[in-house]
Structure 1
Amino acid sequence: MLIIETTGATVRRTGRSTDCHLDFKLRLVHASSTNRTNPSMAEARTESWTGKRIVVSPVEVTNFLGSIPLLQQLPGTSIQKIAEVVEPLQFGKGEVLLREGTPEDGLYFLWKGEVEVSIPNSMGSHTLGLLKSGDYFGYASAELIKNLNKSDVTAISEVICFVLRNENAHLLSSVSIWAQQPDESEVALLERILELETLEVDLYKGYTKPDYPSFGGNVYGGQLLGQALAAASKSVDPALLVHSLHAYFLLTGDERMPIIYKVERTRNGHTFATRQVSAIQKGRVIFTMYASFQRSMEGFEHQESMPNVPTPDQLLSQDELRKRYFSDPRIPLKKREKWAGGKPTKSSPLDVKEVDPIDEVSKEALPPWQSVWMKSKGKLTDDPALHRCAAVYASDWTFLATAKRPHRTVPIQLLSLDHSMWFHKPFRADEWLLFVQSSPRASNGRGSVYGHFFNQNGELVMSASQEGLMRKLQKSDRSVAKSKL
């Protein structure tokens, strides 16, 4: 039962940054006990209402704060900073935590015990509701205190609260869902793509801006994957990181419209948590994902070996390969001149180097496997959840095209149908990762692909699989929002 909520959340965008300003106030509904008068509680109140400072282990503080939905939306580093500055206060039964008419002095996170919210009157008090562990109340503001408490909050058992004082209220704001403080360097394009606007708890809005990659007016599948995982990641304790996800692409997304991401908290546990995310446009679910999160633990280890391939510095980038075709004598001069004088393509958020590049002029059938080195262009914020979202975005870039390699003599329509990933070890998505891909089978208008991500130390850090629509391209095909089937 949550009696306190974010009621005045506004988001102001200034350049690349997002400033979030949150106000808190009592929402006097859904209380476990309402509309009753309790003179005995008024008689039991004492004048000692400042609380007793106690010592609580940092691990207990961090674990508890990580379970609060309000805080889970903040960057992963924010909870650690909040845990360092909150005051653990203990109150005895009958002590008043907040008194009506006094200045509000902070935001109280109720860890243990129960409190009663009431309004004193001539008859004693009018009870508005009870708060239990996990609820929060009060007010937090970095500005001068102008508000007064509207009610008494009284302990009805021994109570322990973690209090975030007003001077530390700035920790409840951040420049983005990934960064607490602005970075002097330019934010990488991939990080901007994975930035979501927070509408309220478990509800986010994503965009396809003009400089984001898209395909024929459709939202890139990796964008849906990455943004949906970003939304899910902001609904769990930052100590839990995604270990697997399974997604279905239901309708093609329209790049002209924002995407609403709705998160459902399917399961919460200390070690594992599960979330379902729905991506919505025009009132229709276009994409759905289940993601499972896990707290880090020790376990058995084994892995298959990384293949022996050239290092990234020995290979050409996609831009360098493309420029080679401007001087390729196999291509008619007029076509080369048209390419060279054409409009510049959208900037890719990824740096990709193919181990065995495709000869785009030749239509020779190729084996159904490939390996590419991939990383984000530009440095990403040091948030482990962000790096996993970035890798999910990148995983769809060349994946399904692997199934197309043996069938290069005819134009083929490719559309992702489902996508799964498993995360084995920590990694950075702004450092080179080798994506080894293979397509063991294509049939019945579908192609299947599997892949493994290795870091430069040869560690297997992720695995992935995908199935997609794979059929001969027809002239009647149009890039409109329709069923993938």
Structure 2
Amino acid sequence: MSQALQDLLDLLDLEQIEENIFRGRSRSAVVPRVFGGQVAAQALVAAGRTVPADRPAHSLHAYFLRPGDPGAPIVYDVDRLRDGRSFTTRRVVAIQHGKPIFTLSASFQKHEDGLDHQAPMPAAPDPATLPTGEDRLRGYDHIDPEVRERFLEARAAVDLRHVDEPPFGRFGEPREPHSQVWFRTNGKLSGESGVVDEPLLHVVLATYVSDMTLLDSILLAHGRGGWAVGDVVGASLDHAMWFHRPFRADEWLLYDQESPSAYGGRGLGQARIYTQDGQLAISVIQEGVVRVPR
């Protein structure tokens, strides 16, 4: 396990300060707010710690209400909405400075057999043939060196490989609003991290990564490079995920992303995440603020 991955697991290991109340901290932010994937992952950890381990998460729906302050702790208040025979539902409110910054509803289900079908996995190159994110980023001379290093530090726990050039790598000409990224944790997970029991640990880590690139396809449609080059200001508004089949976050996952619409200062991203052997593991939808600076 890399030190960066261990640091991420430590970040997700919340402190329980009261029944149903947990406290988390933040890492240094690339932008002056808490990374949305971190808040979503920590909130899911808080919810998961109040649910029996034999009930994995099957969905989450979340709203980002205010920018998080990376210099202050985040308190997660869990409301135990329902404990049924098959399903368990939790609502989590993340609070900073006395105000809610994020809300999450998560549902957990005891395993049962049922109908089974899925959309086929799209074609994608083998991740081993693609340059690492570090290799790509270090070759971009147009990005401020300090921004580039902070970007690399923020993603050091994840081996994330773009199939094509990311928006900030080649911008100025519109492209198809579709992107593919392979990702896995930068190191193997032992299942004894102390954060949460498996399989929720893998779900939590996928939730963390899911907020990194989902809105990129919006930028591609307009030839924009994003915050890294300063031609777009953006932030996540809401986020939804459905966890269909078991997967491991330390094995390659294909994040196939597209944007069907952008309008009124907002853009929509939707995606499917597949295991390397073609199993549809996760569906994701997110809307975000996407504004062009005046």
Q: TM-score under structure 1 normalisation? A: 0.55
CA distance in 2, matches of 1:403, 1:442: 7
Answer with 1 or 2: which has the greater Rg: 1
Q: Pick one of 248, 251, 254 that aligns with 1:434.
A: 254
Q: How much has 1:380 moved relative to structure 2?
A: 2.3
Aligned residue in 1 for 2:126: 311
Is 1:209 the equivalent of 2:30? no
Question: Secondary structure of the residue that 2:46 maps to in structure 1?
Answer: helix
Structure 1's 458 and 361: CA in aligned 2 closer, same or farther, altered over 3 A?
closer
CA drift at 1:362? 4.1
Seen in structure 2, the aligned counterparts of structure 1 residues 325 and 417 have a Cα distance that, compared at 3 Å, is closer
- Larger RCO: 1 or 2 (CA < 8 Å, sep 6+): 2
**Are 2:99 and 1:284 aligned?**
yes
Query: Alignment partner for residue 165 of structure 2, among 347, 357, 369?
Result: 357
Residue in 2 aligned with 1:369? 178
**Superposition CA RMSD, Å:** 2.2
Given the alignment of the two structures, is residue 339 of structure 1 paired with residue 157 of structure 2, yes or no? no
Cα contact 2:2–2:187 (8 A) shared by 1? no
Does the CA contact (< 8 Å) of 2:30 and 2:154 recur in 1?
Answer: no
Superposed CA offset, 1:336-370 (max 9, x none): xx739x86652522110011123725411111110
Match of 1:403 among 218, 237, 254: 218
The residue aligned with 1:448 is: 268
Unaligned runs of 5+ in 2: 192-197, 226-230
Q: Percent identity of the aligned residues?
A: 40
TM-score (norm 2): 0.89
Task: Write the distance in 2 (CA, Å) between the matches of 1:294 and 1:216.
Answer: 36
Does the 8 Å contact 2:241/2:285 carry over to 1?
yes
> How far is 1:409 from its partner?
5.1
Which residue pairs with 1:413 in the alignment?
Answer: 233
Deviation (angstroms), 1:188: 2.6
Taking a change above 3 Å as real, the CA distance of residues 265 and 218 of structure 1, as seen in their structure-2 partners, is same
Name the CA distance, whole Å, in 2 between partners of 1:324 and 1:346. 16
Distance 1:251 1:315, change over 3 A: same
Alpha-carbon distance change, 407 to 362 in structure 1, aligned in 2, over 3 angstroms: closer
Alignment partner of 2:112: what SS? coil
The number of equivalent residue pairs is 279
TM-superposed CA distance for 1:388, in Å, is 0.4
Matched, 1:199 2:8: no
**What's the offset of the Cα at 1:191?**
1.6
What do the CA deviations read for 1:376-401 (whole angstroms, capped 9, x no partner)? Answer: 11222422111101000010010012
Query: Which of 28, 44, 69 matches 1:229?
Result: 44
Distance 1:409 1:191, change over 3 A: closer
Counterparts of 1:185 and 1:395 in 2: how far apart (Å)?
20
Measure the CA separation in 2 of the matches of 1:448 and 1:205.
31
Q: What is the alpha-carbon distance in structure 2 between the residues aligned to residue 404 and residue 185 of structure 1? A: 31
Aligned partner of 1:220 in structure 2 is 35
Pair 1:470-2:290 in alignment: yes
Say whether the 8 Å CA contact 1:276–1:290 is kept in structure 2. yes
Deviating above 3 A after TM superposition, structure 1's stretches of 4 or more consecutive aligned residues are 184-187, 342-345
Tell me if the contact between 2:266 and 2:288 (Cα under 8 Å) persists in the aligned partners.
yes
